[in-house]
A and B are shown apart, each in its own frame.
Chain A
Amino acid sequence: MSDLQPAPTVQGSVSRRRFLKVTGGAVAGSSLLTMLDARQAPAQLRGTTLRILTWSHFIPAYDVWFDKFSAEWGEKNGVKVRVDHIPHLEIPARMAAEFAAGAGHDIILNNSTILARLYYKTLLDLTDVYDGLGKKYGGWIPAAKSPIEVEGRIYGIPMYYILLPMLWRKDLFEANGLKPPDTWELARVAARTLKPKGSPTGMAFSHCNDANLNWRSLMFSFGATETDASGDHPTIDSKEMREALRFAKALFDEGMTPEVFSWDDASDNRFLASGIASWIHDAISAYRTTESTNPPVFKNTFVGMEPAGPGGKRVSVSAPIVFLAWKFGKNPQATKEYLAHLVDNDKEGMIQSTGYNMPFLNDSAKKPMPIIGADPKLQVLQDFPKIVAFFGYPGPYTPQIQEVALQFVLPDIFTRVARGTSVDDAVKWGVGEYRRIFAKHKRA
């Protein structure tokens, strides 16, 4: 049922809100900071509603905690909070519908597909909240700004990101005298050795988010780049890219089976849980799934650092989770307060997600981190914040890059090579696709 927005009851609160709107961001920012420091709910929040759209977290217990956490904040501040969950892949469609309708939720989460640059004209400017939180918590990690910054202003609050580390079977490695997969070359040797013994590896060569993330990690670690620093020019046509592609082809031929062409995001989870995989490059959701479905395999599964490329470089491409807010939302004040409160508690969030949610703030990234700091197998994850990157690296996360990701151009380049197309032809095709997509956005 649609929420009825109650009319402001107190004359004073109306004029105070108008005052804030009229005097502009700086004043609003400082009064917000004052509020943040004082931890007091301003009177005008009482009796209002806040609607939040978030994803269905792979850990159901996290969603339970999130809903309860939001409800509790709401109770304390007299705000009626409602949280809705839909799969992260469907959020773009939902945002398009809400935009077309000019009505919907106040706060919407974006996972991997960050649409701030697409909708920024209709999004709430959250620069004040962003800066305030950064100041409070030792700054944001360098990669945080890119997905949400447009023309110098910030249109979203980064909440957490999801890593895809190495998950490898120590027992299989040790039984065959293999070193841990600290570099891509070692990973390849392991796959080559273990595949004939019935334990191949697998990385998706298909249209799924994991493919977008994994192959970028590989190519960036090999020194290739996706766009230049301005984000205007694709730079995938390079020597390093060709090297990465040749490596991927060798890895596929020697260490994988053709089933990887049909994989979706969940296939590598199942691969690991079935006990077959020698290693996979995936989020710890796979690790947790194995924990619940195959305890013996779980005992022998270890989490490893992002493998280094030939030059020793490590880049881990992760999936950012960001909260955006509509300008047409009816409760901007509560929105900002709530988002700040959520970030204040990101440690709790990390615990509730069993270490899945990685924080964007430097202070929270200090060791020891919750859950992963304590679990010996997960400690290595604490070193990832230094090497995290997002789509478009080293350039920003632009709508062009967004479309490139959504059309799975990069996984397709790797797939073509794996299927036998020459590296040069595949790169040529890829460059053509990038150019075509970039040109379209330039026109608009």
Chain B
Amino acid sequence: MTVLGDGAGSTTRAATQPAARGRSTRAWWHTNTGRRLTFGYLLLAPAALYVLLLVGIPFLFSLYLALSDASVGDQVSRFVGLGNFRAAWEMDTFRDALRNSIVFLVVAAIFKSVLGTSLAFLLLQNFKGKKLVRALVVIPFTLPITVSVLSWKWMYDSQFSVINWFLHKAGLIGGYGSESWPIWLGQPHLALLACIGVNVWRSFPFSAIVLLAGFTSVPTEVLDAARVDGCSFFQRFRHIVTPMIFPILIIGFLFDTVFTLSDLSVVYVLTQGGPGSATMILPMLAYQIGIQAGSLGRGSAIALMLVPLLFPALFLMLRNLKRRD
């Protein structure tokens, strides 16, 4: 997928526009440029308006909330400047949430890329039953998130976990009640891993498909030429394939990043942030404080904490993509 850019070239007609516009008796919007711009903005308008009205304005509202002491039940609130942000930093739980969110993102990304890439390679090959395999492998992504996470909750159950049953029968762990019986959602590190696991399970098929699309887009002539030149598989991969599919990788990666960082469902259903604050992540904390406890101001501040961090990174990456094009 290519990125924003100026297009492959301007229309020739614009270049032959009469220079002395003042002499033209046509109204601005009748000029070619005018027509093009009008047409363009008209096409853009529905999407831009939709997003501006339904996301942009609420976002400004949430900024206002983050800077005030609003609570869910109060119509009137006072400006408190950065007080909410400061208060958030002072919370142990907040620092844990920030750390966990980042760990979650990084670990999940690593797993998703490794699993996604391997699967994509496998799916590149031609074999019988490929369509069926592809069909099956996509299912985790298409199930509605609430129901699939609920199923995992039961699969991680401290007593009836199907995973534990399996590991026990395979002789890898002791029985129920023994030291080696994992309590997936009860031991701090395991719990975070369990949540990450569900996120990876859901998303790696998508990563694989996006990568697959990327791989199939690399023209075979280029690859063949490289093979003829004596490049090894890895050399080909690093120097030819990766740069060519870089745009796709970046977009997919960014998309997945924001979705993972703002996803509430997994932790909400599995652990509610527990045990202690081992799986507390920013959206969960923001929900707990902003909505359940009613302190909208503080909740908004927590939810928006990552925006200043991500915004520059995203901006730079997207501009970079444009340059590459």
The residues of A with any CB-CB pair to B shorter than 8 Å are 92-93, 95-96, 99-100, 113, 115, 118-122, 198, 200, 205-208, 257-264, 267, 270-271, 274, 276, 399, 402-403, 406-408, 412, 415-416, 436, 440, 443-444
Q: A92-B292, A207-B273 are in contact. Are A436 and B91 (CB under 8 A)?
A: yes
Interface residues of B in 183-219 (CB under 8 A from A): 183-187, 191
> Which one of B6-14, B106-114, B153-161, B300-308 is at the interface?
B153-161
The minimal Cβ–Cβ distance linking A209 to chain B, given in whole angstroms, is 10
Query: Which residues of chain B have C-beta atoms less than 8 A from A92's C-beta?
Result: 291-292, 294
CA distance A259 to B156 in the complex (A): 11
Report the Cα distance A444→B276, complex, angstroms. Answer: 27
Interface string of B258-279 (1 = CB under 8 A from A): 0000000000000111111000
Given contacts A121-B75, A440-B298, contact A259 B186 (CB under 8 A): yes
Q: Is A263 touching B158 in the complex (CB atoms < 8 A)? A: yes
Closest partner residue, chain B, to A273 (CB atom): B159
B294, closest chain A residue (CB):
A118
CB-defined contacts of B160 to chain A, threshold 8 Å:
270, 274
Determine which of A115, A267, A444 lies in contact with B158 in the assembled complex, contact meaning CB atoms within 8 Å: A267
Contact A206–B274 (Cβ < 8 Å):
yes
Q: How far is the CA of A99 from the CA of B183 in the complex (A)?
A: 40
| Complex Cα gap A206–B273 (Å) | 10
- Chain A contacts for B71, CB-based, 8 A: 118, 399, 444
Complex Cα gap A92–B299 (Å): 14
In the complex, the answer to whether B73 meets A118 with C-beta atoms within 8 Å is yes
Residue tally, chain B, CB below 8 Å to A? 38
Residues of B within 8 A of A436 (CB): 90-91
Quick check: B271 and A207 within 8 Å, CB to CB? Answer: yes
A276 to B73, CA, bound (A): 45
Chain A interface, DSSP helix/strand/loop, else mixed: helix
Contact with A along B280-321 (1 / 0, CB 8 A): 000000011101111110100000000000000000000000
| Interface residue from B73, B93, B273 paired with A99 (Cβ < 8 Å) | B73
Tell me if B295 and A408 are in contact (CB < 8 A). no
Cα distance, A99 to B287, chains bound together (Å)? 16
Interface residues of B, Cβ cutoff 8 Å to A: 69, 71-75, 87, 90-91, 93, 156-160, 177, 183-187, 191, 271-276, 287-289, 291-296, 298
Whether A262 pairs with B158 at a CB distance below 8 angstroms is yes
- A200 contacts across to B, CB distance below 8 A: 177
Complex Cα spacing A206 to B294, Å? 22
**9 A-B residue pairs with CB within 8 Å:** A96-B72, A118-B294, A206-B186, A262-B158, A403-B289, A406-B292, A407-B93, A412-B276, A444-B295
A207 touching B275 in the complex, CB below 8 Å, given contacts A92-B294, A259-B183, A262-B191: yes
- Closest CB-CB distance, B30 to chain A, in whole Å? 45
Q: Which residue of B lies closest to A198 (CB)?
A: B177
Chain B residues with CB under 8 Å of A208's CB are: 272
Contact, CB under 8 Å: A258 / B183: yes
Question: Across the interface, which residues of B come within 8 angstroms of A260, CB to CB?
Answer: 158, 186
In whole angstroms, what is the CA distance A99 to B70 when docked? 13
Q: Please report the C-alpha to C-alpha distance between residue A257 and residue B287 in the assembled complex, in whole angstroms.
A: 31
Asked whether, in the complex, the Cβ of A207 is within 8 Å of the Cβ of B73, the reply is: no
Say whether chain B's binding surface is mostly helix, strand, loop, or mixed: loop
| Complexed CA–CA distance, A213 and B156 (Å) | 24
**Neighbouring A residues of B74 by C-beta, 8 Å:** 121
Q: A407-B293, A408-B274 are in contact. List 14 more A-B contacts (CB 8 A).
A: A92-B294, A120-B73, A122-B73, A206-B275, A207-B275, A259-B158, A260-B186, A261-B186, A261-B274, A262-B183, A262-B184, A399-B71, A399-B293, A407-B288
**CA gap between A100 and B288 in the complex, in Å:** 17
What is the CB-to-nearest-CB distance from A156 to chain B, in angstroms, rounded to a whole number?
Answer: 13
Please give, as numbers and ranges, the residues of chain B lying within 8 Å of A257 by CB-CB distance: 177
Whole-angstrom CA separation of A256 from B293 in the bound complex: 31
Pick the most buried of B90, B93, B158: most chain A CB atoms within 10 A of its CB: B158
Please tell me if the beta carbons of B292 and A261 are within 8 angstroms of each other in the complex: no
Residues of B within 8 Å of A262, CB to CB, are 156, 158, 183-187, 191, 271, 275
Interchain CA distance A416-B183 in the complex, whole Å:
17
> Are A121 and B87 neighbours in the complex by a CB distance under 8 Å?
no
| CB–CB A207/B69 < 8 A | no
Out of B73, B90, B186, B295, which one reaches A115, CB within 8 Å?
B73
Q: Is the CB of A406 within 8 A of B288?
A: yes
Residues of A within 8 A of B292 (CB): 92-93, 113, 406
Residue contact B93 to A274, C-beta cutoff 8 Å: no
Residues A93 and B293 in contact, CB atoms below 8 Å apart: no
B72 A119 Cβ-Cβ under 8 A: yes
Q: How far is the CA of A258 from the CA of B275 in the complex (A)?
A: 12
Residues of A within 8 A of B187 (CB): 258, 261-262
Flag if B272 contacts A258 (CB, 8 Å).
no
CB distance from A25 to the nearest CB of B (A): 22
Closest chain B residue, CB of each to CB of A419 = B276
State the Cβ distance, A435 to closest chain B Cβ, in Å: 12
Residues of B within 8 A of A271 (CB): 159
Closest chain A residue, CB of each to CB of B156: A262
Chain A residue contacts of B191, Cβ below 8 A: 262
Q: Is the CB of A444 within 8 A of B69?
A: yes
Query: What is the distance, in angstroms, from A324's C-beta to the closest C-beta of chain B?
Result: 11
CB-CB under 8 A from B91, the residues of chain A are: 436
Closest 10 CB pairs of A and B: A262-B186, A259-B158, A261-B186, A207-B274, A262-B185, A119-B73, A403-B293, A118-B73, A207-B272, A96-B72
Q: How far is the CA of A248 from the CA of B71 in the complex (A)?
A: 36
Shortest CB distance B228–A (Å): 57
Bound CA–CA A440/B274 (angstroms): 23
Q: How far is the CB of A436 from chain B (nearest CB, A)?
A: 7
A297 to chain B, nearest CB (A): 14
A96, A257, A262, A276 — most chain B CB neighbours (10 Å): A262
* B residues in contact with A258, CB < 8 Å: 183, 186-187
A440 and B73 in contact (CB under 8 A), knowing A207-B274, A270-B160, A276-B159? Answer: no
Q: Are A399 and B294 in contact (CB under 8 A)?
A: yes
Contact A93 B291 (CB under 8 A): yes
Query: A102 vs B75: C-alpha distance in the bound complex, in angstroms?
Result: 11
Taking CB atoms, residues of chain B closer than 8 Å to A118 are 71-73, 294
Q: Output the nearest chain B residue to A93 by Cβ-Cβ distance.
A: B291
CB distance from B41 to the nearest CB of A (A): 32
Q: CB < 8 Å: which of B183, B272, B273, B298 contacts A261? A: B183
